[in-house]
A and B are shown apart, each in its own frame.
Chain A
Amino acid sequence: MANSSPRLDVKKTYKLFIGGAFPRSESGRTYEVKNSEGLFIANPSLASRKDLRDSVVAARAAQDGWGSATAFNRGQILYRIAEMMEGRTSQFVDEIVALEGVTQTAAKKQVEDAVDLWVWYSGWCDKIGAIYGSTNAVSGSFYNFTIPESLGVVATFAPTKPSLLGLVQAIAPVLAGGNTLIAIASEKYPLPAITLSEVIGTSDVPRGVVNILTGSSAELAPWVGSHMDIDGVDASGLTASQEKNLRVAGADNLKRIFRFKESQSPARVLAFMENKTVWHPIGV
């Protein structure tokens, strides 16, 4: 057979990442994503509140294992994500260039910064307890320690731009602290988040630890706020009014809601940790 016809493109179906699997939205909905020139490039899933609910169930089921894994082990796995991302650099660059309309060089810089950020937070996993924990002087024959431990299930709203780096800034510290999470990707530029979910799917991260949803932040935010089984929220990517509604809905269940100014800081790890104090008798 003559090889005269051009090869057909194999187009990618952009899906959600829930409990280690890549399902479409249970609602069957999708939305259009356009490139920087306004041309159609993809139909990612438009996640519904039921996808959020399923993600929380997956994240809660995974939390015990991830939170009680040794800090050293979590650090290794976060470093593994950096390794896997490095190999996908060109795919991330292509997506960032198409969506954000930035130059190749700027896109490459963004990907490299994101990889480096994983390495940076992987190092924090086994140091956060040593630096921010303490031994406390008490009046009695006891050792008294305070150690930060994971908060539980956290939802993150990534900023619209930079699409990849902003997402990693949000999720890496949450994972370093031993939490499991539901990341709601940049609504306008969701493709790097979906590719990142494929990276995470092959990085020894236990299933359910990271769940990534694409869709409307405005639609999902109130459901995140009122959900009784989400312990904390990084609201950095929400508008002021969305954040206000989230805080109103989250007040009833005492949710920890933060908006961060620093893009890279151990404070972002500590925000989603709780201090546990242990008394231990001396000389027994």
Chain B
Amino acid sequence: MALTDGSLVSIKGFLRTLSPVDQVGADARAAMLATRSIKTASKRWAIDMAISMIDLTTLEGADTKGKVKAICNKAIRPDSTDSTVPHVGAICVYNDMVSVARKHLDASGGSQIPVAAVSTAFPSGRASLEVKERDTKDAIANGATEIDMVIDRGAFLSGDLEKVYSEIVYIKSLCEGKAHLKVILETGELVTYDNVRKASFLAMAAGADFIKTSTGKISPAATAPVVLVMLEAVRDYYQMTGQRIGVKPAGGIRTTKDAIKQLVLVKETAGEEWLNPELFRIGASALLNDLLLQRKKLTSGHYEGPNYVTLD
């Protein structure tokens, strides 16, 4: 069942049917869920779940092949002293590092870990469709099985929803059968929760497999209320269409506490079906070390220090 035929009139008509977001209510609900106390046994489970959901990310101008290989090693075996730690959800890198990551993972026993590439002129999205097409095809050809595309925020904010929609549809057609498509809304630039909700539905209707909060280059990034609004959107979309879309908060999630708060949001908003790496990912780099430190603390019974995990 197509929710819209892609014309501006039809998109607008569809988005008008969405209920608006109660901003105060969303803030309060996210803050209330963040106060929940997590007991030790659940914490152990939550830490392992969070590790397996991480899209271990390096998106720096200064990325080298060596650094990408190092994070691949860490993705396969996050804690070199403890083989019971699960591997992470995926590696997320720039286009030109995809083949480096894929080859290194395959050669090091990490063939089960997918490589995600940021695409479509990440992070700004300011390029012609031809460039975005080439960017995406290139990443897929190099072995990326997940594509993280950015939407054109300028077009979205100026009301050119048709352009945003058609770009997602087009990129999705390039990915079909070869790669998962994650659509980055860059919520820090969308200003209101209503816009976040609209952009979420626009992306899902256009064929996104995942909706992702942010590029990580803009602050604020994955705040709890924004993630709540997006989780409500995927829940409502599931009720409308019977199709489950994933959510990926990225940027600003640095501590175990932050990660566990995200898991509570998922459980209480979208439901337990979303508590798996197929439907929920966390885009992060520094977070993994904090999760490992907390996990070590649970195992050893004493507080750990940053000297005992790898440098980022």
Q: Which residues of A contact B (CB under 8 A)?
A: 49, 52-53, 56, 60, 223, 226-229, 249
Contacts and interface: CB of A to CB of B under 8 A. Distances in A.
Query: Which among B301, B304, B308 has the greatest number of chain A C-beta atoms within 10 A?
Result: B304
B301 A229 contact: no
B301 A227 contact: no
B306 A56 contact: no
Interface in B268-306: 301-306
A228 B305 CA distance: 5
The 4 closest A-B pairs by CB, nearest first: A229-B305, A226-B302, A228-B305, A227-B303
23 contacts: A49-B303, A53-B303, A56-B303, A56-B305, A223-B302, A223-B303, A226-B301, A226-B302, A227-B302, A227-B303, A227-B305, A228-B302, A228-B303, A228-B304, A228-B305, A228-B307, A228-B308, A229-B303, A229-B304, A229-B305, A229-B306, A229-B307, A249-B302
Interface residues of B, number: 8
A229 B300 CA distance: 14
Nearest to A56: B303
A contact face: mostly helix, strand, loop, or mixed: helix
Residue with the greatest number of chain A CB neighbours at <10 A, chosen from B301, B302, B303, B306: B303
Contacts of A56: 303, 305
Contacts of B305: 56, 60, 227-229
A53 B305 CA distance: 10
A91 B301 CA distance: 41
Contacts of B302: 223, 226-228, 249
A60 B305 CA distance: 9
A162 to B, nearest CB: 31
Nearest to A224: B303
Nearest to B303: A227
A29 to B, nearest CB: 16
Nearest to A231: B305
Contacts of B301: 226
Contacts of B306: 60, 229
Nearest to A222: B302
Contacts of A226: 301-303
A229 B301 CA distance: 14
A226 B308 CA distance: 14
A60 B306 CA distance: 9
B3 to A, nearest CB: 47
Contacts of A228: 302-305, 307-308
B226 to A, nearest CB: 26
A227 B304 CA distance: 6
Contacts of A52: 303
Nearest to B296: A228
Contacts of B307: 228-229
Contacts of A227: 302-303, 305
Interface in B140-164: none
B248 to A, nearest CB: 28
Contacts of B303: 49, 52-53, 56, 223, 226-229
A229 B306 CA distance: 7
Contacts of A223: 302-303
A120 to B, nearest CB: 32
A72 B34 CA distance: 45
Given A60-B305, A228-B302, 13 more contacts: A49-B303, A52-B303, A56-B305, A60-B306, A223-B303, A226-B302, A227-B302, A227-B303, A228-B308, A229-B303, A229-B304, A229-B305, A229-B307
A228 B307 CA distance: 9
Nearest to A228: B305
A226 B302 CA distance: 6
Nearest to B255: A57
A49 B302 CA distance: 10
A223 B301 CA distance: 10
A257 B304 CA distance: 18
Nearest to B305: A229
A132 B305 CA distance: 30
A89 to B, nearest CB: 38
Nearest to A225: B302
A227 B302 CA distance: 6
